[in-house]
Structure 1
Amino acid sequence: MATQVVLVLALFAGLACSSPSSRILGGSPASVEKYPSIVQVESMGSSSGIWAQSCGGNILTARYVVSAAHCFHGIFYEPKNRRIRAGSSERNTGGLVIQVDIEINHPTYGVNDMDGDISVVRLLGSLEYSPVIQQGPIIPADFPLPDGLPVVLAGWGATELGSLPSNELLETSSYIVPREVCAERYAGLSIPRSVTENMICAGHLDVGGKDACAGDFGGPLYYDGILVGVLSWGEGCANKTLPGVSTAVTSYTNWIIDTAV
C-alpha cells in the first residue's frame, strides 16, 4: 500500500465506545513513534533564508502529504520555500527532510472564507518508511462523526497565545462540538466567520484550555489514529467560547485519493 492512500472503515464500527489517549496548548509531550504519520512543514524566511517549522501535515503516501491550503498560499509563497521533516519529535531538527515539489490546494479554497482549506502536497523525493515514518489512514468519504466524539490533535505550535512554538511534539485531547453551535457562535462575532459543513469544530466548550495554536495548523486531528481533520483556524487559542476549527477530511476524501497519485 506504499503508493496508495489508506482508508479505514472497520475501526469506525465502534465509534462511540472508543476514546483516544489524552495527554499545543494544554498538551503533553508526545513521541513521533506514537504519531509516525505526522510531519513538520518548514518554510524558508524570505529575507533571512532560515528554515523553520511553520505548519504541520500528515503522510498520505511515500510521495504525498496532506496539510492546510493556507500553509501553501500567499504573495511570497513558492514551492521551493517549503519542505517537510518526517520522523522527528523535535522541531527543526532530526528525521528526514524532503523538498516540496508542488502543492495542489483544493479548488474551492479562498472562495468562502476558510472553506476548502486543504492541500495535497507532492514531494520531490520519496519517504522511507520506518517505525517513525508511516503513512496514516484517513476517514472514508461522507462518514458522519458524532457530536462529543473524543479526538486528539498534535503539533509543534505555540503553547499559549503569542508565545514561541514548542521545541517538542505535543498532543492534547478534545471533543467534537455540534456544528450548529459552533457556527452560531462564530456568526455572532463583530466580524462574522463562516463555519461550513466541510468543517469540524472541536474543543472543550465553555471550559477551554486545550486547543491548537499558531504553528499547529495543517496538522492532524485524529480519532483512534485515523485522520479525520486538518487543523485550520480559530479565534485565539483554547478559547472557551469559540472552538478550534478543522477541515473535515471526510468531505474531501475522494478528492485526496484522486489527487495523491
Structure 2
Amino acid sequence: MRILGKSLTLLPPLMLLLLAALVWHTEAHPEGRIINGAQVDITRHSYCVSVRYRRSSSSPYMHECAGVIYSDRGIVTAAQCLVDLTQDTKLIVVAGANTRNGSDGFVYPASRWVHHPQYTPITVDYDIGVIILDTSLDLTQHGLRKIELRPERPATGREAIVIGWGYREEWGPSSPKLEQARVPIVSSEQCNGIYGAGEVTERMICAGDVAQGGTDACQGDTGGPLTVDEQLVGLVSWGRGCGRPGYPSVYTYAPSLKTWIEDTLKSAGVL
C-alpha cells in the first residue's frame, strides 16, 4: 500500500496527524498492482502467496494483499494487511496461484495472525506481520517452497524483483495475473532526502527508478516480496503514488526484523 502525501512535514504537528489519519482511513484496504511489469508464472516465484479476505458471511474471498512462505505453517506479510481486522473477517492463503481471484492454486485457511506490536500507520514503521495456517503447506509437491532472508543489505543500484497482482497504473485496473518488475535499490540517504529526514528508518529499504519512474509496486501488492537472488529483501509497504518519477517505493526491510519473525513463529509452534 502507498501512503500519499506522507512528506507533509511543514504542516503543524496536530494537522499532520489528522491528515495522516485521514489518508490511512481512505487507503486502509490495499488494492495493489505492479506497474509496467511482465506476466510471470507462479512456479518462478512459488514462495509468493495471495492473501484473501472474507469480510462478511455473504461476501466472497477477495485478494487484498500478498505474502511469502517462511515456514510450513507461517506466512510473512505486512502489518497493514492484518491490523484492525474485525472479528467477522476470515482469511485464507492461496499458494501456487497465477490469478488474483481465480480458482487455481491451493487454499489454506488461516487460524490466527499477528502484527508487530510497534507498528503504527502514522510512520508505517515495523510494517510486518505473520499469518499462522490451520494446516501445513505441502512443500514436497506442487513446487511450493519457502524463501530465506537475504543476510546482507543489497548495494545501491542493485537490481531487485518485486512480485504481485496489484494495479497496472496508479488508479487501476488491477492485474488478473501475477506480474513481476525489476527495480534498482535506492540508498536510504537518498530516500530520506526525498521523503524527509528520518522518514525512512533502518527497518525500511527503498527501490525504484527515481529519475524515470514508471516501474513500481502499488496497492494490492502490499506485503508482497522484493527479492534479490531469490532471497527476501523487502515487503511492499508505502510510498507516494505509484511509479511516479522522483518517488521510489519504500519496503519493509524484512531481514532487520528476523528476530521478531522467528520468535513469533516459534511461540506459535510453527518454526
TM over 0.5: yes
Say whether 1:43 aligns with 2:34.
no
Distance in 2, matches of 1:71 and 1:170, equals 20
Say whether 1:54 aligns with 2:59.
no
Gaps of 5+ in 1: 1-23
Secondary structure of the 2:153 match is coil
What is the CA deviation profile of residues 165-184 of structure 1, one whole-angstrom value per residue up to 9, with x for unaligned ones?
21100000001101111112
- Find the counterpart in structure 2 of residue 169 from structure 1: 178
Paired residue type of 1:160 = E
Distance in 2, matches of 1:244 and 1:160, equals 14
> How far off is 1:63 after superposition?
0.3
Say whether 1:249 aligns with 2:268.
no
Equivalent pair of 1:69/1:105 in contact (CA under 8 Å): yes
Distance in 2, matches of 1:132 and 1:109, equals 33
Distance in 2, matches of 1:208 and 1:47, equals 41
- Find the counterpart in structure 2 of residue 5 from structure 1: none
Distance in 1, matches of 2:137 and 2:88, equals 18
Paired residue type of 1:136 = I
Between 214-223 and 84-93, the greater mean CA deviation after superposition = 84-93
What is the CA deviation profile of residues 147-205 of structure 1, one whole-angstrom value per residue up to 9, with x for unaligned ones?
111100000001001113211000000011011111121128xxxx8211110000011
> Which segments of structure 1 move beyond 4 Å, counting only runs of 4 or more?
none
Provide the TM-score with structure 1 as the length reference: 0.84
Pairing of 1:64-143 with structure 2 (within 5 A): 64-74=74-84, 76-78=85-87, 80-93=89-102, 94-110=104-120, 113-129=123-139, 130-140=141-151, 143=152
Paired residue type of 1:242 = Y
Secondary structure of the 2:166 match is coil
- Find the counterpart in structure 2 of residue 215 from structure 1: 220
> How far off is 1:233 after superposition?
0.9
Aligned pairs, how many? 231
> How far off is 1:81 after superposition?
1.9
Secondary structure of the 1:197 match is coil
- Find the counterpart in structure 1 of residue 35 from structure 2: 25
What is the CA deviation profile of residues 183-238 of structure 1, one whole-angstrom value per residue up to 9, with x for unaligned ones?
121128xxxx8211110000011110100011001000000111111111111111
Gaps of 5+ in 2: 1-33, 267-271
Say whether 1:148 aligns with 2:157.
yes
Equivalent pair of 1:32/1:132 in contact (CA under 8 Å): no
Paired residue type of 1:254 = T
> How far off is 1:46 after superposition?
4.0
Provide the TM-score with structure 2 as the length reference: 0.81
Distance in 2, matches of 1:212 and 1:247, equals 13
> What is the percent sequence identity of the aligned residues?
35
Distance in 2, matches of 1:233 and 1:84, equals 22
Say whether 1:197 aligns with 2:208.
no
Aligned-residue CA RMSD (Å): 1.8
> How far off is 1:98 after superposition?
1.3
> How far off is 1:77 after superposition?
3.4
Distance in 2, matches of 1:218 and 1:88, equals 16
Secondary structure of the 1:227 match is strand
Structure 2 CA distance for partners of 1:164 and 1:132, relative to 1, 3 Å = farther
Equivalent pair of 1:117/1:247 in contact (CA under 8 Å): yes
Secondary structure of the 2:114 match is strand
